[in-house]
Amino acid sequence: MISAVNHLGIAVRDLEKSMELFRTIFRVESFHREVVEEQKVSIASFKIGDVLVELTAPTSEDSPIAKFLDKRGEGIHHIAFSADNVNAELSRLADDGIQLIDATAKQGAHNMLIGFLHPKATNGVLMELCQQQ
């Protein structure tokens, strides 16, 4: 079951500069930092209430985030939703005719399994399902 908004992903070119901006806006005291090799990104995240904000920068020119930045520039990249079982939800959605980017879950940040729905199938919004391991 999909249960809640988990995080907002924001694509950024310069992670350090963006951290300073968000530190100023939201008075962030500390960020969780992580590199996700499989996704070719470096992230810095922080919480506002119950929602995580994830600043995401590419670590390679061929990463999906780098391609997004080249095409659309910095800004909201995706909305992530918590799911009890990402693989079961991806299977259910595929059966219901929803176009997916990921047919099965992959390893993501924060020790989560993740899978993306294609924005062509979701009114132009890239949606991520995530499951804490």
Give all domains of the chain, ordered by start, each with its CATH number: 2-132 (3.10.180.10)
Arithmetic mean of pLDDT, 78-86: 97
φ/ψ (deg, to 5) at 125: -105, 120
Confidence (pLDDT) at 51? 87
Q: Tell the residue number behind the tokens 């800004």, with chain if given.
A: 75
Q: What is the pTM of this model?
A: 0.92
Confidence of residue 81 (pLDDT cuts 50, 70, 90): very high
Please give the C-alpha separations between residue 100 and each of 5, 96, 119, 129, in angstroms, as whole numbers.
Answer: 19, 11, 9, 11
Across residues 83-89, what is the average pLDDT? 98
Q: What pLDDT band is residue 8 in, cutting at 50, 70 and 90?
A: very high
Report the alpha-carbon distance of residue 12 to residue 130 in Å, rounded.
21
